[in-house]
Structure 1
Amino acid sequence: MIGRPVMVPYWSLGFQLCRYGYENDTEIANLYDAMVAAQIPYDVQYSDIDYMERHLDFTLRPKFSGFPALINRMKAHGMRVILILNPAISGNETQPYPAFTRGMDDDIFIKYPNDGGIVWGKVWPDFPNVVTDPSLDRKRQVEDMNEPSSFVNGAVPSGCTDTTLNRPPYMPYLVARDSGLSSKTLCMESEQILPDGSRVRHYDVHSLYGWSQTRPTYEAVQEVTGQRGIVITRSTFPSSGRWAGHWLGDNTAVWDQLGKSIIGMMEFSLFGISYTGADICGFFQDAEYEMCARWMQLGAFYPFSRNHNNIGTRRQDPVSWDAAFVNISKSVLETRYTLLPYLYTLMHKAHTEGATVVRPLLHEFVSDRVTWDIDSQFLLGPALLVSPVLKPNARNVSAYFPGARWYDYYTGVDINARGQWKDLAAPLDHINLHVRGGYILPWQEPALNTNLSRQNFMGFKVALDDARTAEGWLFWDDGQSIDSYGKGHYYLARFSVSQNTMQSHVIFNNYIRASNPLKLGYIEIWGMGNVSISSVTISVSNVDITVPVSYNPTTQVCD
């Protein structure tokens, strides 16, 4: 009914940086150079509306005249740049403004009923004789203000005409409940015109406003670039996930927002939107060191992983703090990049099967009633358990482990916890990750960005269950072509382990070949038990190759 989640490009799973308040292109260039010098992985750099002349869409400020050259330099090194647009067009310019004149020519703007004039809202470019609360002009994030969002209630000049629509008997909780449904948006009697020419009241389609922008934007991005792109929308509706991801809105740099972001991601997974995440370290207010460090660790496991904050607040990107913060960020992002083949495969399964990427423990262990109330931990797919620190001054975290075999991600050691809570050490530079027995995780050597990491050796982390079996999947394509799955330009394989043998079952392959190899460099097997391992043989094209192996009987890890 709502369709399956969009298949995002591989690079969009990399770490992303944004800030509303960059002064000029030199500031962005210095940030990029500092991230590279610190060897912190990231793939996407944004510019918020600062690059625009007077915040007018499709314009460039003189202070950003060097931005095109910077974009080309970053692209040459495998980076991506995203420009944020404000979905509102100024209509009070004294000089020709093509975006407005073309809109007038095509009669696309929202109007009052009975052939009335345009319903004017208000965002950044000033409109004559308009007085707004000055605290609003710099406290609303522009990116996809597509509810639609406005700095005034109803319209300019003020005064909606239909009281029944704007102030119904029941009022949901809004920013200002006493202002009616038009609070910070348009008058409900405003009319929108559908492609077939029919007129509909904004009251009836308000929740579809952002949704109606999503698909055309996604398709336009693909048409212009010839590749998969991403659309991140704040306003969603059932089926939005077919074309877009969702960021969880303008949050605040306070501790309780970490836990709320987990709940938000799990909810939107159920809504069919897999590519989700919150603004890491918070959008409003100054971030605090420890909170931001813990949020970087948590956010490294958001499907949409972006650090973003508001103008007027302190910088909170990884290189804005100190050397210790750099090391914390680098370490956890290298872990994320290591696991991107697993995450990308999860996104493929969401796209083709409707499976969830972020999921609560209860989805995998529904018969365990303890899991029903857990929202401070989450799973990525069926196999990776994330147990973050969500409170200040904590150096331990209490984590629940349902009835399965669980291994420490970093050591491969069985933690011997089943169906019980366990107190885990969590120093400031550590986030607890555990792998569920019975699963195989594909991984890859990390690098500064995905363009580089995709060229590195692959590996498998094999976590055996009690029967000494495991299975996993790998989906692989070029990471950017449109509908590579539908066109049959991909590789898909299931991997299984039983009776001391690991096998590859290729489901489909029209991508990996001798001229375009996927290089396997590592296999780790966890939970081998007290066995003696003298050799490991790999069979390739009916040729047996004996490879070096090491086995630690104490940790029961073979690699």
Structure 2
Amino acid sequence: MDNYKDWTYSPENFGNLPSVIADLHANKQRYIIMADPAISSSQPAGSYPPFDDGKRLDTFVKTENGDILVGKVWPGETAFPDFFHPNAYTYWYTQAKQFHDKLAFDGLWIDMNEPSSFIDGSATGCSKTSKYDNPPFTPGSILNFNLFGIPLIGADICGFRGQTTPEMCTRWHQLGAFYPFMRNHADIRSPAQDPASFQSPYVDNIRKALNLRYQLLAVLYTGFFNANTKGLPIVRPLFYIYPGTEAISNQFMWNDQLLISPVLTQGATTVNAFIPRDRFYDYYTLKPVNGEGHLVNLPAPLDTINVHIRGGSILPLLPTTTRTDDARLQAFTITAASSLNGTAQGELFWDDGESSNSIPSKTYSLIKFNLNKNTLTTKTAVTGYMPSSGIKAGKVYVLGVTQGPNKVLINGNSHQFVFDINNQKLEIPDLSVDLLKNNTITWQ
């Protein structure tokens, strides 16, 4: 950046940055920029459009007497766009679009997205005219934002300042794999803490956590679709689904499908987790777990975060690859976790992965899954995205099958299967089912 100012880059130090980005794109790599909502405010009028435009559109936060509130962040004195202002969208979009015309970035990371300032209140101090100027509480965890309607959120994995430890960083990556916005991010003066900076077994354990997230990316993507269209949070406290669990803050749900129980204590190899009174399945073994509504001591070796699939869920999972565009070409594994009454539902939102307007233009496909006793169906609710290769399912797991079937039929045709009586798991491998077509899988 040019003196830390948003929507700039230094022509002296990074004059060839557009060609660097072009080279990244030629190698199928992406370039994400970081911008702070704090806009530099101390330069002469007319010399910095991001501030001049905000002032003209009246989008900056004001003091009680109507002046622009001035704080201090990276560029020095700064103003803060008021995201409740009716002109805020026009203002922010215009700045991003004009900068994108100069520098073809692929994504925007809003850094310090809270109204963060290096001084208390403003350059003129803090007002004391109202009880709201000094609220008697501090907002809790960057995860509560899901309940506020802001789902793409996540803390700086391994911490922003100071020196982490290999164990803490491993455990934090396991937890961070379930942040909707996953980032390992540190102050420039901090020791290296990226996954590759650690030795085995820590780097291997972190890789395992990252692979877990890659497997679940389609579940997360579908969660964002529901957040966009229905306002549903992705990360949910347990009480969102199980009332009476308001005191539990060290576990959470992903959508209404996964129960996450991270290790938060140094040196721990077990976790004391609350398992609600419901049917669950261990994510790794797919073995059924009947929750009794009390705390259970679960094994949690250093390479594992406890994850349970909630009965009644159907998950579309992807194989692990090193690139998301490669993963999109792979066949899904459909994991149908039966509830206590033998039913389950799920869905898959899928588009080209690039377009920003696929929802309003309906250029996406929405596939609905339904399990009822011994029948699993897939139906297309929307078919606006139809790649030439189709959207394939290569394997199906049905969990909670108590009796071994004699045969399995895929759209009326017999197909091989494997049944594990001990884990009540029916596996249907070697499929080539196009999910853009309606399908019926039955077992007898």
Alignment TM-score, normalising by the size of structure 1? 0.63
Q: Does the CA contact (< 8 Å) of 2:35 and 2:108 recur in 1? A: no
Report 1 or 2 for greater relative contact order, CA contacts < 8 Å, sequence distance ≥ 6: 1
Structure 1 residue 88, shift from structure 2 partner? 3.4
Structure 1 unmatched runs, 5+: 1-51, 128-144, 149-204, 238-247, 251-261
Distance 1:125 1:233, change over 3 A: closer
Corresponding position of 1:323? 200
Corresponding position of 2:157? 280
Matched position secondary structure for 1:521: strand
Matched position secondary structure for 1:80: coil
Distance 2:185 2:282 in 1: 31
Q: Where in structure 2 are the equivalents of 1:205-220 lying within 5 Å?
A: 213=88, 216-218=91-93
Distance 1:456 1:496 in 2: 22
Structure 2 unmatched runs, 5+: 119-138, 428-444
Corresponding position of 2:306? 432
Q: Where in structure 2 are the equivalents of 1:21-420 lying within 5 Å?
A: 52-57=1-6, 58-60=8-10, 64=14, 67-85=17-35, 87-89=38-40, 91=42, 99-100=47-48, 108=56, 123-124=73-74, 147=80, 213=88, 216-218=91-93, 221=96, 224=100, 230=108, 232=110, 234-235=112-113, 264-366=141-243, 369=244, 371-420=245-294
Corresponding position of 2:440? none
Structure 1 residue 126, shift from structure 2 partner? 7.7
Distance 1:111 1:326, change over 3 A: closer
Q: Does the CA contact (< 8 Å) of 2:34 and 2:111 recur in 1? A: no
Corresponding position of 1:492? 366
Distance 2:173 2:202 in 1: 10
- Root-mean-square deviation (Å): 3.6
Report the structure, 1 or 2, having the larger helix content.
1
Code of the residue aligned with 1:489 in structure 2: it is: T
Corresponding position of 2:426? 558
Q: Does the CA contact (< 8 Å) of 1:214 and 1:233 recur in 2? A: no
Structure 1 residue 216, shift from structure 2 partner? 3.4
Q: Does the CA contact (< 8 Å) of 1:222 and 1:229 recur in 2? A: no
Q: Number of residue pairs matched?
A: 398
Distance 1:62 1:493, change over 3 A: same
Code of the residue aligned with 2:363 in structure 1: it is: H
Give the share of equivalent positions with the same residue, in percent: 33
Distance 1:435 1:122, change over 3 A: closer
Distance 1:535 1:78, change over 3 A: farther
Report the structure, 1 or 2, having the larger strand content.
2
Structure 1 residue 71, shift from structure 2 partner? 3.0
Distance 1:361 1:267, change over 3 A: same
Distance 2:97 2:72 in 1: 30
Query: Which of 507, 510, 522 in structure 1 is aligned with 2:395?
Result: 522
Per-residue CA distance 1:108-136 (angstroms, 9 max, x = gap) = 498999xx999976555689xxxxxxxxx
Distance 1:316 1:63, change over 3 A: farther
Code of the residue aligned with 2:145 in structure 1: it is: F
Structure 1 residue 214, shift from structure 2 partner? 5.7
Q: Does the CA contact (< 8 Å) of 1:376 and 1:388 recur in 2? A: yes
Distance 2:360 2:46 in 1: 38
Q: Does the CA contact (< 8 Å) of 2:33 and 2:108 recur in 1? A: no
Matched position secondary structure for 2:314: strand
Matched position secondary structure for 2:22: helix
Q: Does the CA contact (< 8 Å) of 1:440 and 1:462 recur in 2? A: yes
Per-residue CA distance 1:421-454 (angstroms, 9 max, x = gap) = 1101111111000001111011111211212211
Distance 1:532 1:103 in 2: 68
Distance 1:111 1:399 in 2: 43
Code of the residue aligned with 1:100 in structure 2: it is: Y
Residue range with higher mean Cα deviation, 482-491 or 343-352: 482-491
Distance 2:275 2:117 in 1: 31
